[in-house]
Structures are given as structure tokens and as C-alpha cells.
Amino acid sequence: MANTKPVGVGDTAPDFTLASQTGEKVKLSDFRNKQAVVVYFYPKDNTPGCTAESCAFRDSYEVFKTMGAEVIGISSDSVRSHDAFAKKHNLPFLLLSDKDGAVRNLYGVPSAMFILPGRVTYVIDSQGIVRNVFNSMMDFEAHVKEALKTLQEKV
């Protein structure tokens, strides 16, 4: 299931099905022809950077919804970990568990320093086409700003 070429702008976003923090199965293609989706891959629940990034998405969630987009966070943490993380920080969006890293690999999300799972955000339009890919391990809030900018411009 590994992807030899990272998913880029203009590509059709690969479909996937993962469990959410409630255990419900979520399929990316269920959003197709309905709304845009902002998918952000992050390294780990309850770490300082990932908490800052997730809370930045939380703080702009209503803006995303107004723009017709859903937000989905993905890491390799368990459903239970995601549930606790979402409750602790009042995260109103889906957190999906990619336990074996298959979806991360499918998208070609790079590792940082060969050990940390990367932090990459994809803006996917309602037709399933990737409109922006933003990769930054340290500029957590820029993921939200870039996604909102892309939605305003293109999607």
C-alpha cells in the first residue's frame, strides 16, 4: 500500500477508511461531491506541537465549516488516545487512527529526521482533488492559515 510518489497538488486524493475517536469508520470518499476536506497528518496526541496545531484548527473550525470544509486529523495514535485528546482540548472535528501508518504511507507523508512522523496538511476539494499540500514540522499555526487561504482562493 506504500506510495512511491507523494500525493501532490492536482492529484486525486487516495481514498481511505479509518476509525474515528468514537470508533466510527470514516471514509474519505463519503465527503466527495459534498464538501471540501482538510486532512492534517500530525505526529502524536498530547505533544506540545500537535496540541498547538490541533487547537489552532479547533479555534478556526467554525470558519472552516462556514467555508464548506470538514477538518480531519490523522495520527497513528489509538482510538482511545484520540478520544481522550479530543475531549481534553474540546476538538470538534474527527481524529482518525492510522495505527499501522498505511494511510500516511499512501499519501507519502515524509518523516522528520527519519524518526518522527511528518506534519503535512492536504486541502482536498469537493471533487476529491488535492488543492494544496503544506509541510512544516514547526510552524503549527501556518497549517491552518494555509488551508484557509487555499479554501478562499480555489475550492
Give the catalytic positions in this structure. Answer: 50
Distance (Å, rounded) from C-alpha 127 to C-alpha 114? Answer: 33
Q: Give how far Cα 73 sits from Cα of 4, 63, 153, Å.
A: 23, 17, 22
Distance (Å, rounded) from C-alpha 104 to C-alpha 106? Answer: 5
Distance (Å, rounded) from C-alpha 56 to C-alpha 102? Answer: 26
- What 3-state class would DSSP assign to 123? strand
**Triad 109, 26, 62: Cα angle to 5°:** 85
In degrees rounded to 5, what are phi and psi of residue 136? -155, 125
Give residue for cell 480531519: 72
Q: Quick one: DSSP state of residue 143?
A: H
